[in-house]
Amino acid sequence: MLRVGLTGGIGSGKSTVAARLADHGAVVVDSDRVAREVVAPGTPGLAAVAAEFGADVLTADGALDRPKLAGIVFSDDAARQRLNAIVHPLVRDRATELVTAAPPDAVVVQDVPLLVENGMGALYHLVIVVDTPVEVRVRRLVEHRGLAESDARARIAAQADDDARRAAADIWLSNAGTPDQTRAAVDALWAERLAPYETNLRERRHADRGAPRILDHDLTWPAQAQRLLARLRLAVGGAALRVDHVGSTSVPGLAAKDVLDFQVVVATLDDGLDEPLAAAGFPRLPGFDLDSPHPPGGPATAKRTHVAADPGRWANVHVRAQDSPFAGYSLLFPAWLRADGSARAEYEQLKRGLASSHSDVPAYAEAKESWFDQAIPRAEAWAAATGWTAD
């Protein structure tokens, strides 16, 4: 199944987005609803909250007095942390039950208000952040939930800011317009990305790689890479010695194809990571199991190549043994290019020229090999002169 995390600040309109995704067939697990369920009257969760905060947080009929509890925790970080320590494990366990019960071909959307604050992005194939201007959110909270303006602003201030949410977002979905505009954006997201991604994930196939096209350096590439790195590291766990963002998109200022490259280094190369990586959204790409020899004439080196199933983010994952020469080259080469502006300009000129004359990625990559033959000794000389080593 495809797992999608849905989040956004209080009052941002996540419920509108979740409802439209449900219209398309998504299985929506609403953490707010689950949070109410686990502290319903008669539950161990409610008993634990009352024991921690006192009987005053209960109504006359024994239910949770939410406004009174909110008045305590939203102005006191320590109190909020104590509440979270009680409620979050209960919500997590119940949400896990609901996700496990979903069919294998489902798109499961978990509406998690504190996804960013709790660093949960790596648990999902994609994270959607619903964005709405603060003043609109304040107005909604005052008009539709009956909060005082000061209370609404305090709740907003207690959550992650836009910078933190942007760093976590694979998809930044504006809800600043009309409901119809928001629903149309969700419709397009479902058709163009979520539904195809689920099919690719289930069938263990990658998204179309397209023709090579060189773009100016994108300042968002590092943040995008960090999100995928977190998912890869979670997927491979202790089986990997290291996982790194490599390739041209890891070099600031260097023009490149809009593809993120990663390297997973293992002690011994085998097929053990095929299924964990495929389940994380990176199925194996058959036929790309060798690195070309450098210098020419030597033996080719075995590797495994995995390609993202996400149609909205082209990414390659190269799995190599620690004794592969390319495990070292893949770390050395970007480091050299970061340090040597003339080499960086030379490589960029080569890439732009080859991309304009090759219509498919394998041919483009093959055409670069002769340049690598002469560039690798230069990079090695730089490393020796500067004392560079891989961290």
11 annotated ligand binder: yes
Neighbour-count burial of 327, counting CB atoms closer than 10 A to its CB (0-12 exposed, 13-18 middle, 19+ buried): buried
For residue 228, the tally of other CB atoms under 10 A from its CB is 23
DSSP single-letter state for residue 191:
I
Name the nearest CA neighbour of 137 among 125, 122, 154, 124: 154
Six-digit token pair at 342?
A: 């003339």
The C-alpha angle 67, 70, 73, rounded to 5 degrees, equals 160
Give the CA distances from residue 75 to residues 57, 69, 79, 152, 234, in Å, rounded to whole numbers and listed in that order. 15, 11, 8, 12, 34
119 annotated ligand binder: no
Q: How far apart are CA 333 and CA 269, in angstroms?
A: 22
Contact by Cβ (8 Å): 88, 58: no
Which H/E stretch holds residue 129? strand 126-131
Six-digit token pair at 85?
A: 């320590």
Q: How far apart are CA 391 and CA 389, in angstroms?
A: 6
Six-digit token pair at 363?
A: 């041919």
Q: How far apart are CA 97 and CA 104, in angstroms?
A: 14
238 annotated ligand binder: no
Task: Specify the amino acid at residue 124.
Answer: Y
Contact by Cβ (8 Å): 14, 130: yes
14 annotated ligand binder: yes
Task: Identify the three-state secondary structure at position 101.
Answer: coil
Q: How far apart are CA 285 and CA 336, in angstroms?
A: 29
Measured in residues, the chain has a length of 391
Q: How far apart are CA 340 and CA 385, in angstroms?
A: 13
Q: How far apart are CA 7 and CA 9, in angstroms?
A: 7
Six-digit token pair at 272?
A: 């053990």
- Residue that is written with structure tokens 């929506």 in the block: 28
* Known binding residues for ATP: 11-16
What residue numbers does the annotated binding site cover? 11-16
